[in-house]
Amino acid sequence: MSALSALPFLKPVHLRSPRGSAGGQRRHTLPASEFRCLSPEDAVSVFEIEREAFISVSGDCPLHLDEIRQFLNLCPELSLGWFEEGRLVAFIIGSLWDQDRLSQAAMTLHKPQGTAVHIHVLAVHRTFRQQGKGSILMWRYLQYLRCLPFARRALLMCEDFLVPFYQKCGFEALGPCEVAVGDMTFIEMQHSVRGHAFMRRNSGC
């Protein structure tokens, strides 16, 4: 059984349409929201959302298209996409890291023996922003990580103005990150995902 198939909060959610007026027949089921791990086939859609979200702000993307494909091939289980009616509206991409703090190498490497999940990017499609989707997706992602036996921490780096957002998601600031992109500097943040045996016993993990 895959990790995803064991997690009820990541399974597709469907909204049923009301019964038809004639004969009491039910209309076809309309797909609503679905949360699932991403695949390499999703890479272009991921990059289009990321490019629009980041280039206008910082002039660059956390991950380029070839890097997205790389991570979705190496560790698709550390990604999560939010689809509405089959359309990708938000996503997170992560990989494993094997050191206490992030370094430049963490930007492009996946360390299969690592216990820290490096969250490279969280992005929401422009037409779905200001709806709380980023917070909801992060909450689901952290719940998912708690069910992965190898995951101990989630790490990310962000600009100063995003620190309050991630603090509301349960992250704590570790201080300045040693990684810099041009003139941009970042704060490194951490969220513990271990020590949740009770949750594992009662969540179907």
Give the catalytic positions in this structure. 95, 109, 120, 122, 166
If we measure between CA atoms, which residue out of 69, 34, 63 comes closest to residue 49?
63
Q: What is the DSSP track for 5-72?
A: GG-GGGS--EEPPPBPSSTTPBPPPEE-EEEE---GGGHHHHHHHHHHHHHHHHSS-SS-HHHHHHHH
Under a CB-based contact definition with an 8 Å cutoff, are residues 189 and 156 in contact? yes
- The 3-state DSSP composition of the chain as helix, strand, coil percent (nearest 5) reads 35, 25, 40
Please count the helices (runs of H) and the strands (runs of E) in the chain.
5, 9
